[in-house]
Chains A and B, each alone.
Chain A
Amino acid sequence: MNKQIFRLLLLFLMIQPLLNAQTKDMVIIKGGQYIPLYGKKSTLVKVKDFEMDIYPVSNKDYKNFVKQYPKWQKSKAIKLFADEMYLTNWKNDVQIKDTELDNSPVTYVSWYAAKDYCECQNKRLPTIDEWEYVAMADETTKDARSKPTFNKQILSWYETPKTNENSIGSHPKNAWGVYDLHGLVWEWTLDFNAVLISGESRKDVDNDSNLFCGSASLNATDLMNYAAFMRYAFRGSLKANYSMKNLGFRCVKDIIKKDQ
């Protein structure tokens, strides 16, 4: 009898890593509601449960990716999908420059490349709402937005140059167990082009109602949240083929319920 239990236990131990293999380096984010910076006033946005990469994609991860999908190598990526800055910190198609670290977040990648990377891993890019939802957390609280120190910390990082050259995972993880949402690089989101602020800064005060249909209903809900405001402004200024020094990405995955 004991032997049988032991065998079962052994079998379980052997199978377990296989079950977990699918979600390696990801954590489950329990969905919920939150009020984002932009949206209809006091409208709660629902975020479903999902899994998120605990680290941004590293140079090393991306090297493996371009080996497997040569169409994303530096010399082969087509202009429609990546501008001339694409992987500009790489020596050649398969190697980063000697000054770069394997463990730094990959940057100089376009939205198309980031999106395809995630899809090739059976994942996808996070939406703005998903990203912001997880990024509200500090080390101890899942919504730390009301803490003045939290905002200050993020803003002080925004002022620090060359953080993209640091290694991933060197700051403490947040309350969800996710690293580096703040403090390393900005990150692509699936729907970054949902930010409807016109490019001209003086026009931002007033919504350009001719250029955008229905934009008058979109207002900032929390003007004190200057860090988030900067992120939205940054997203609003991006184009999908841009490849930039301080812009990387990470992937997420939908949770497919078994009974469905």
Chain B
Amino acid sequence: MKKSLKNISILLVNTIVLVTLIQAYRISHESNQEVVQTYQCPMHCEGDKTYTTAKNCPVCNMQLSSTKSKSTAITNNTISETSIFNLTSLWKTEEDKTITLKELKGKTLVVVMIYTSCKSACPRLIADMRNIEAEIPDKKIKSIQFVFVSIDPTTDTPKKLKDFAIENFMDDEQWTFLQGTVSSVREFANVLSVKYKEISPVDFSHSNIISVFDAQGELIHQQEGLGVSNKETIDAILKVTP
């Protein structure tokens, strides 16, 4: 009887310690979020410079506005509301690594949605991507990531994507292939305004769009259709890539 009482008291102490720890963690977490709260000139006089107090802009003297705490998942306040890095879904690369899109931040992104078993437009889209890549000076390639997002996440496993990359001589650092989920691919397609429909388990109908994002994940250019000139797309890429 005494023993069980002792056990209970140990359990009780343990519970109290645990609750306190959780509380402490939550408090520290909340205060972390407060730090994120920043203010910025609505006219962006000093670019993306932010302040921690709501004073006036030293350049135009306008009252600084809150940059909003945004989604709680965002701790880095340098991305804007329209950046694709606001998407929090998880992706698998052809190297079987799990990433969020935000991990691609810092490079210009050239993005296209394809599926590897496609026989009609995809080879041409891939050729377009390769042609664009070939036009980029070597010293800039390091700052650009060419991303293929599969619209057939059930078939296009990391292994399948890796095989596809090797087969098409696109296995270097600058090429990335992503597998998502049915839901995250729909969401991503919506961000790119890409439409697609499964016609049969192996065939998809989809829009042919190559999208360019700057290093902050802002959409800056879209090339629509097949067999169109890549010139504008290349210009857009060069313009935003240092």
Contact = CB atoms under 8 A, between A and B. Distances in A.
B168 interface: no
Nearest to A191: B186
A137 to B, nearest CB: 24
Main secondary structure of the interface of A (DSSP, over half): loop
B9 interface: no
A193 B195 contact: yes
Contact of A78 (B70, B195, B199): B70
A65 B84 CA distance: 24
Contacts of B17: none
B120 interface: yes
B206 A71 contact: no
Interface stretch (A11-19, A94-102, A151-159, A214-222): A214-222
A76 B68 CA distance: 7
Interface in A82-116: 111-112, 115
A201 interface: no
A240 interface: yes
A112 B187 contact: yes
B70 A215 contact: no
B80 to A, nearest CB: 8
Contacts of B193: 239
How big is the A interface, by class?
20 to 34
B191 A240 contact: yes
Contacts of A39: 199
Interface in B183-242: 183, 186-187, 189-191, 193-200, 203-208, 224-227
Interface in A3-49: 39-40
Contact of B186 (A193, A211, A239): A193
A195 interface: yes
Contact of B86 (A75, A80, A196): A80
B235 to A, nearest CB: 22
Given A81-B86, A239-B193, A211 B70 contact: no
B83 A193 contact: no
A2 B205 CA distance: 65
B135 interface: no
A36 B92 CA distance: 34
B189 A193 contact: yes
A218 to B, nearest CB: 6
Contacts of B126: none
B83 to A, nearest CB: 7
B81 A210 contact: no
Nearest to B87: A80
B84 A193 contact: no
Contacts of B190: 111-112, 193, 239-241
A196 B197 contact: yes
A79 interface: yes
B82 interface: yes
Contact of A194 (B196, B224, B225): B196
Nearest to A75: B68
B199 A217 contact: yes
A211 B207 contact: yes
A76 B87 CA distance: 15
B71 A196 contact: no
B36 interface: no
Contacts of B80: 79
Q: Which of B71, B183, B191 has the most CB of A within 10 A?
A: B71
Nearest to B114: A213
Interface string B63-101: 000001111100000001111101100000000000000
Interface string A117-158: 001000010000000000000000000000000000000000
Contacts of B207: 196, 211-213
A190 interface: yes
B120 A190 contact: no
A114 B109 CA distance: 28
A40 B199 contact: yes
Given A71-B72, A112-B190, 18 more contacts: A78-B70, A78-B82, A78-B86, A80-B81, A124-B183, A190-B186, A191-B186, A194-B198, A195-B195, A196-B197, A196-B207, A210-B226, A211-B208, A212-B208, A214-B203, A218-B199, A240-B190, A241-B190
28 contacts: A40-B200, A75-B68, A76-B68, A76-B69, A78-B68, A78-B70, A78-B82, A79-B80, A79-B81, A80-B81, A80-B87, A115-B187, A119-B183, A191-B186, A193-B195, A194-B195, A194-B196, A194-B197, A211-B208, A212-B205, A212-B207, A214-B203, A214-B205, A215-B205, A217-B199, A239-B190, A240-B187, A240-B191
